[in-house]
Amino acid sequence: MKKISFIFLIVFFSLHMTLAFAQPTLKKFIALADIHFSPFIGCDQYTPPCPILNELRATPAQSWDLVFQKYADKISTNYRQDTDYFLLQSTLTELNTLAQQKPLFILMLGDFIAHNFFEQYNTYSADPSGANDAEFMKKTFQYLAYKLNQAAPRTNIYPALGNNDSYTGNYLVDPNGPFLNDTADIFAALIKDKQAREEFKDTYFNAGYYAITLPQHIRLIVLNSVLFSSLYTTSIKQKAADEQLIWLQNQLNQANQQQQSVLLAMHVPFGIDVFLDIKMKTDIVRYFIHPLFWQAVYNEKVLFLLQQYSSILIGTLPAHIHADTFQLISGKDHAHFIPSSTTPSISPIYGNNPGLKVFSFNDQTHELINFDAYFYPLNEGKTAQWKQEYNFNAIYQPNCKSCSLVQGMLNLHKDNRLMSSYKKYYAVSQNTQPLTRHKKWLPYYWCNIHNTDWESYRHCERSEATQSFQH
């Protein structure tokens, strides 16, 4: 009898341990975007050449803090400008706090530097020739990488390139050029894991895209989606875009064969540029110019790939629009969806509050199940502090038992109570975008959530307009 009881205890204990180990746990990662750091803020108070800029040029990047602190009385954080030194410091302090949660990694989704960087450099240096402007941009990247590593010294930080991140101009990319060569080493220092660092360098030199093998059997694919952009196309950029498309298909195919899940990150999103569509106003203009972020051919081909490989895609993570929004991409069988969650900007240049996100996913199913949005309410002035803005599940599915971002997104309808929450958080708790400022929820923003190609979006837009007319 004692022997049977002993065997029973062993079996019970083994079963208990098996179940314990089988329980899924939550893993986290952090996403921030569009820092748009400006080392020129404060220079407008001087007749060029600006002493702040002159001293930064003469100072090693790791000592730039001393220069900014010296001119602290000239620097202030405000809406409608890019990120100054103090907002950067505050953001990195918050990042350091969030990094204590031991996230699996951090994503910086592009646009590290200020808008009109070279124009400002030329103005404040009093050198319209632009001599040494690329060297100063390189130094700015070195400074930002140094500060990011200080904030998260033990966490891999994976960068994506934004449209402003270039020596050759906005939306212009120089494949295999000096910018990629310089930033390869700067960005590689953000990646602490040796294998991941080597994977990054495998393709980043080509045109700014790469793939990383993460723990938990996940492949992180980071696109240089500026190559796909509809703005400023060149033959060199087109060739690089075609090569990236082939590379993306190969990456998805390999991940599928190796039974990996895929997380897709980028700066410029696919789909409809709603802000541009609203500005177009007339169907005549839309007939000739479709308001897409990407060239139509790339938008169509990438969406097709995402649908074909929807079973392994965890989600897509874009940025660029300085807003907090989401989209749902239908899989090839239309039975499930791929969630796309946009990370808002740190820069408050469009009147938004600075914001970032901490995502949670199931380490067994790899499903994205939640995120916490954090923000810096600039309107609170000198008392402003980073704090939680909202928890996605608490807003979109407070009674969920088996949560997923997809289900929460599906709970939003064009006229239910969640519409108010979506509007509130779009500009990070500010009323500065056409969504709320000009009451453009219908048809524009609503249609954009479920329609990422022009034809389906336009059909939704017309349908909503017809319904409004009938009512």
Strand bridging mode 387-391 / 326-330: unpaired
Residue pointed to by tokens 């793939």: 211
337 inside domain: yes
pLDDT given at position 469: 44
Per-residue pLDDT tens over the stretch 321-352:
999 999 999 877 767 899 999 999 999 999 99
CA distance 424 to 350: 15
Residue pointed to by tokens 């939640």: 370
Q: In one letter, which amino acid is 144?
A: L
19 inside domain: no
Query: Hey, what long-range contacts does 307-312 have (CB within 8 A, 24 or more apart)?
Result: 307/331, 307/332, 308/252, 308/332, 309/252, 309/253, 309/255, 309/256, 309/262, 310/336, 310/338, 312/252, 312/255, 312/256, 312/260, 312/261, 312/262
CA distance 283 to 296: 18
pLDDT given at position 287: 53
pLDDT given at position 402: 82
The CATH number for 112's domain is 3.60.21.10
Per-residue pLDDT tens over the stretch 132-158:
999 999 999 999 999 999 999 999 999
- Residue 229's SS3 state is strand
pLDDT above 80 (res 23): no
What domain range includes position 430? 24-470
CB 85 within 8 A of CB 77: no
92 inside domain: yes
321 inside domain: yes
Quickly state the pLDDT bin for 288 (edges 50, 70, 90). Answer: low
Q: Exposure pattern of 267-290 as b/e (b: 16+ CB <10 Å)?
A: bbbbbbbbbebbeeeeeeebeeeb
pLDDT above 70 (res 210): yes
Closest CA to 356 of 392, 315, 327, 388: 388
Quickly state the pLDDT bin for 22 (edges 50, 70, 90). Answer: very low
pLDDT given at position 17: 45
| pTM, two decimal places | 0.93
CA distance 376 to 387: 7
280 inside domain: yes
223 inside domain: yes
Quickly state the pLDDT bin for 437 (edges 50, 70, 90). Answer: very high
Strand locations in 274-354, DSSP E? 313-317, 326-330, 337-341
Quickly state the pLDDT bin for 418 (edges 50, 70, 90). Answer: very high
8 inside domain: no
Structure tokens at 438: 């000009």
Q: Give the total number of structural domains in the chain.
A: 1
CB 425 within 8 A of CB 373: yes
Sheet holding 210-214, edge to edge: 210-214, 218-222, 261-265, 313-317, 337-341, 326-330
pLDDT above 50 (res 184): yes
Residue pointed to by tokens 């939704």: 460
11 inside domain: no
The mean pLDDT of 56-77, rounded to a whole number, is 97
pLDDT above 90 (res 196): yes
Burial (0-12, 13-18, 19+ Cβ within 10 Å), 57: middle
pLDDT given at position 312: 96
CA distance 278 to 321: 15
